[in-house]
Chain A
């Protein structure tokens, strides 16, 4: 009985650590900024890229994010040769410290 209670207690304690991690004001602020930046990039793609355009999203860390945020608007293609636009995320002020860079492929 003691072992079972202890094990469940350890499991519950792990969850407490997660709650503590995500309820700190800094964490809330950081994650709010992150999701706002993502939402901003989502809108930026819709305003700067024509609908249905083939886009090349290979941009290191942001490759998958750009492909995801292009969904239902632009069409990610596997090679630059097939693309009309190349998308990249660069440091800047447009989206909470990030900016969408759209260039002709």
Chain B
């Protein structure tokens, strides 16, 4: 309960305005707000480590500055800040969607009844949280202590910062609070994915000429909410007991998949981009793999929003693409740079491995394949969906599935290279970690399956009298790259369910 209070009051409340500014009136705000708060806490922890102060003081400063900036932006933008989002949620569907996905994300938390703290939950995340809780000198001395090198001191600060804030509020009388906070933030990340899936169908829903949503669309939307909730449960299934034992692997995975769904699947818009950026920043500050994956995703998102074929001044276009990657990656890169400056590093690449590359590669391929049973199913569904549902997907303005698959394959390639070139004994390393490092690939493929399912239901239940969704722009944007009025002004949801 204490971790939940921290999540809502300490992280969620300061995150509401930024989340609203990013996503507007959307059920994703429920899950995005705590993540935005955690992101601000991570930035505060970076300041605490790099400059001075205590986490709480730095967090208050960061939260006040961010919220003031949002308010100033709102006041300055005036009516333009109120421009219609590409989706407009009626309150009824908004509440049903948020409640449905929240229900799915909450079910796995039943496992928290047993106060289980896993090995990394203790040796890495609780330890870093205690350091962050202690203020600048304790944090710096702790991470630089060579006797504590086993704790991967270069790991990013988002989860330790969130846990340390919980300790600041309730004391260190219950170490299990750390694992609970990690699971709650994981649930929020999966909630962002689930609401993203529901948003996909809110765009794809069929609207009758009278302006009312047809029964088919209602069925599709209910199916989308169910799929979003199921994805949350299945995501925790992928994370296994680690997801409730204080491990961060599913947490960064959930945020990263959120970035994929909002940035590479949903129709391009400022709102979807903002949610994707927030999720990518959260992933980049949650674990080292999260930063690498965030950079991959952000590069693909920039190419989607600024395609290579787009006419115009090339230099400016490339500058925009670079900015689209760098701006959201800045917090994660700042942490990585700070850690490098302080001379802090882990043991993964400490010395060259004595094992042969071939042997390491074979072991890695076998180890990774063993944890991707969902891949053959996802490939089959991708092929079938691309043949039979491609038109429906395009009409909905959803991104080409190659974006999602590209992210997945690029991540697996980076993971493969990391294992092959790392210094730890490969079989032990794989046995200890590959079931968790493949979380991202598994959950992103589950999200793809859920998406095809939603599109299939929508297609099956759609009526012949629906209007075309877009006004000739496949991705719902005009030639300037902004959401078209036709696409953004259409209300896909009834005011009441």
| Nearest Cβ on chain B to A74's Cβ, whole angstroms | 11
Whether A42 contacts B377 by the Cβ 8 Å rule is: no
Checking A7, A31, A72 against B116 with a beta-carbon cut-off of 8 angstroms, the contacting residue is A31
**Complex CA distance for A11 and B235, rounded to whole angstroms:** 7
A103 close to B (CB within 8 Å)? no
Whether A23 contacts B453 by the Cβ 8 Å rule is: no
* Contact A18:B108 (CB < 8 A) given known A27-B114, A39-B174: yes
| Nearest Cβ on chain A to B449's Cβ, whole angstroms | 4
**Complex CA distance for A13 and B446, rounded to whole angstroms:** 14
A21 close to B (CB within 8 Å)? yes
Residues in B with CB closer than 8 Å to A39 are: 173-175
Whether A4 contacts B134 by the Cβ 8 Å rule is: no
Whether B108 contacts A68 by the Cβ 8 Å rule is: no
25 contacts between A and B (CB under 8 A): A1-B457, A3-B377, A4-B381, A4-B449, A4-B452, A4-B456, A7-B446, A8-B450, A8-B453, A11-B230, A12-B230, A15-B237, A18-B236, A27-B114, A31-B115, A35-B117, A57-B147, A64-B151, A67-B147, A68-B130, A71-B127, A71-B134, A71-B138, A76-B145, A78-B146
B148 close to A (CB within 8 Å)? yes
B324 close to A (CB within 8 Å)? no
A81 close to B (CB within 8 Å)? no
Residues in A with CB closer than 8 Å to B114 are: 22-23, 27-28, 30-32
- Per-position binary interface string of chain A over residues 44-86, scored 1 when its CB falls under 8 Å from any chain B CB and 0 otherwise: 0000000000000100000111011001100111100000000
**Complex CA distance for A16 and B176, rounded to whole angstroms:** 21
B227 close to A (CB within 8 Å)? yes
**Complex CA distance for A35 and B377, rounded to whole angstroms:** 40
**Complex CA distance for A17 and B111, rounded to whole angstroms:** 10
Whether A42 contacts B172 by the Cβ 8 Å rule is: yes
Checking B147, B172, B176, B380 against A3 with a beta-carbon cut-off of 8 angstroms, the contacting residue is B380
B266 close to A (CB within 8 Å)? no
Residues of A within 8 A of B (CB): 1, 3-19, 21-23, 27-28, 30-32, 34-35, 38-39, 42, 57, 63-65, 67-68, 71-72, 75-78
Residues in A with CB closer than 8 Å to B234 are: 7-8, 10-12, 14-15
Interface stretch (choices B238-246, B327-335, B484-492) = B238-246
Checking B142, B241, B374 against A71 with a beta-carbon cut-off of 8 angstroms, the contacting residue is B142
Instruction: Give the one of A7, A28, A65 with max B CB within 10 A.
Output: A7
- Per-position binary interface string of chain B over residues 93-120, scored 1 when its CB falls under 8 Å from any chain A CB and 0 otherwise: 0000000000000011011111111010
**Complex CA distance for A42 and B111, rounded to whole angstroms:** 25
Whether A65 contacts B123 by the Cβ 8 Å rule is: yes
Residues in B with CB closer than 8 Å to A7 are: 234, 374, 377-378, 446, 449
**Complex CA distance for A76 and B261, rounded to whole angstroms:** 44
Whether A14 contacts B238 by the Cβ 8 Å rule is: yes
Residues in A with CB closer than 8 Å to B457 are: 1
- Per-position binary interface string of chain B over residues 174-216, scored 1 when its CB falls under 8 Å from any chain A CB and 0 otherwise: 1110000000000000000000000000000000000000000
Whether A15 contacts B233 by the Cβ 8 Å rule is: yes
| Nearest Cβ on chain B to A103's Cβ, whole angstroms | 18
Checking A4, A28, A72 against B138 with a beta-carbon cut-off of 8 angstroms, the contacting residue is A72
| Nearest Cβ on chain B to A51's Cβ, whole angstroms | 12
B231 close to A (CB within 8 Å)? yes
Whether B130 contacts A71 by the Cβ 8 Å rule is: yes
B411 close to A (CB within 8 Å)? no
Identify which of residues 139-166 in chain B touch chain A, using a CB-to-CB cut-off of 8 Å.
Answer: 141-142, 145-148, 150-151
**Complex CA distance for A1 and B453, rounded to whole angstroms:** 5
Residues in B with CB closer than 8 Å to A68 are: 122-123, 126-127, 130, 151
Q: Which residue of A lies closest to B122 (CB)?
A: A68
Residues in B with CB closer than 8 Å to A34 are: 115-117
Whether B123 contacts A14 by the Cβ 8 Å rule is: no
Checking A13, A17, A64, A77 against B123 with a beta-carbon cut-off of 8 angstroms, the contacting residue is A64
Whether A42 contacts B450 by the Cβ 8 Å rule is: no
Residues in B with CB closer than 8 Å to A15 are: 107-108, 233-234, 236-237
* Contact A11:B237 (CB < 8 A) given known A18-B244, A39-B173, A67-B147: yes
Checking B150, B174, B241, B453 against A18 with a beta-carbon cut-off of 8 angstroms, the contacting residue is B241
Whether B131 contacts A71 by the Cβ 8 Å rule is: yes
| Nearest Cβ on chain A to B287's Cβ, whole angstroms | 18
Whether A1 contacts B456 by the Cβ 8 Å rule is: yes
Residues in B with CB closer than 8 Å to A23 are: 110-111, 113-114
**Complex CA distance for A20 and B236, rounded to whole angstroms:** 13
**Complex CA distance for A7 and B453, rounded to whole angstroms:** 11
Instruction: Give the one of B115, B145, B150 with max A CB within 10 A.
Output: B115
Instruction: Give the one of A6, A19, A30, A77 with max B CB within 10 A.
Output: A19
Q: Which residue of B lies closest to A33 (CB)?
A: B115
| Nearest Cβ on chain A to B471's Cβ, whole angstroms | 30
Residues in A with CB closer than 8 Å to B147 are: 57, 67, 76-78
Whether B111 contacts A22 by the Cβ 8 Å rule is: yes
* Those 7 A-B pairs whose CB atoms lie nearest each other, nearest first: A11-B234, A14-B237, A15-B237, A4-B453, A31-B114, A22-B111, A22-B114
B133 close to A (CB within 8 Å)? yes
